[in-house]
Amino acid sequence: MRNLLIFVCFLGCVTTILAQEIEVGEAEMEVITIKEQNFFIGLNSSGFCVGFQQGKTPNAKDKYLWEIEFLYSIHHKAVLGRLYVEGRSYCFGKLYDLFFLRSGYGYQRIITHKPYYGGVQIRYFVSGGASICFGLPTFLEIIKEDSIQGIYTEIERYNPELHNSVYDILGASPFINRFHKIAVRPGFYAKAGLNFDFSKNPLKLQMLEVGVSIDMIFPFIQQMAFNRTKPFYFCGYVAYSFGKKKPRYEFE
């Protein structure tokens, strides 16, 4: 996570410097837009995210938007592996995988306009809203033995007190087995950062976004055994966005 945040800060500084260097004059003619919409996909310090945004631009600098986003989060101590070749990979000690469905409202403001001959437009943004967390519990194939059946396996929910030896675990259970004990928690989120629009077409969006986000849910969910339950989930992320703009005036 520290390396990702360092990369995000470095990328933001370099892009800002480049954009300021190439913006040597004002645009001769700027297309006035009133709406924007875009899809985005990204990587964060605990997983990945995908989402959609749609907003209005009432003036040349401001943008107000709503967004919906799906985010996957795994604990930073979870390490995927397996002891037996015939078993599925799993993370020993992992109690839950967390999935967040976010929906909220945001604000963006242009810091640096894109020159008419091309370049990079820079905006800062803040957003926040409600979220729902879905916790998928870990189920494992446990190796057992008795005098009647011999050696066999049973699918059981991971219990760190009972399943404390990797030699008794064949591997992860099929993914479908995890849904009947799903934990649902309400919560909220907030995001902030910078985005850089480098599209050559004034009516298209191609953006690199860097930022940080935080989620909090109630009641808390313990992701890893033998670790303290976290009251919030903080991550840095990098995302690529693509979309389009609607001009105020249509020209034939």
How do residues 191-241 score in pLDDT, each as one tens digit? 999 999 999 888 899 999 999 999 999 999 999 998 888 888 999 999 999
Note whether residue 30 is domain-resident: no
Q: CA nearest 50: which of 98, 102, 107?
A: 102
pLDDT in tens, 154-173: 999 999 999 989 999 999 99
Tokens of 27: 């645009």
Domain assignment present for 31: no
Distance CA(170)–CA(146), nearest Å, equals 17
Name every residue whose Cβ is closer than 8 Å to that of residue 17 and which is 6 or more positions away in sequence.
none
CATH assignment of the domain containing 228: 2.40.160
Q: Dihedral of CA 172/174/176/177: which sign?
A: negative
Neighbouring residues of 135: CB distance < 8 A, sequence distance ≥ 6: 96, 97, 98, 99, 182, 183, 184, 185, 221
> What does each of the 252 residues of the chain score in pLDDT, given as a tens digit?
555 544 455 455 544 444 444 444 444 456 778 899 999 999 999 899 999 999 999 998 999 999 999 999 988 889 999 999 999 999 999 999 999 999 999 999 999 988 766 789 999 999 999 999 999 999 999 999 888 888 999 999 999 999 989 999 999 998 888 887 899 999 999 999 999 999 988 889 999 999 999 999 999 999 999 888 888 899 999 999 999 998 876 644
- What residues contact residue 209 under an 8 Å CB cut-off, 6+ apart? 40, 42, 125, 193, 194, 195, 196, 237, 238, 239, 240, 241
Cα separation, 41 vs 120, whole angstroms: 20
Amino acid, res. 117: Y
HSE at residue 10, side-chain half, CA atoms within 13 A, is 6
- How confident is the model at residue 49, as a pLDDT? 95
Is there a domain that residue 234 lies in? yes
What's the rounded Cα separation, in Å, for the pair 4 and 165?
A: 34
- pLDDT for 179: 84
The whole domain housing 82 covers 2-23+36-247
- Quote the CA–CA distance of 92 and 175 in Å, as a whole number: 16
59 found inside a domain: yes
Give pLDDT, residue 25. Answer: 43
3-state helix, strand, coil in the chain (%, to 5): 10, 55, 35
- Say if 28 falls within a structural domain: no
Residue 218 burial (10 A CB sphere; 0-12, 13-18, 19+)? exposed
What's the number of domains the chain is made of?
A: 1
Q: Is residue 252 assigned to a domain? A: no
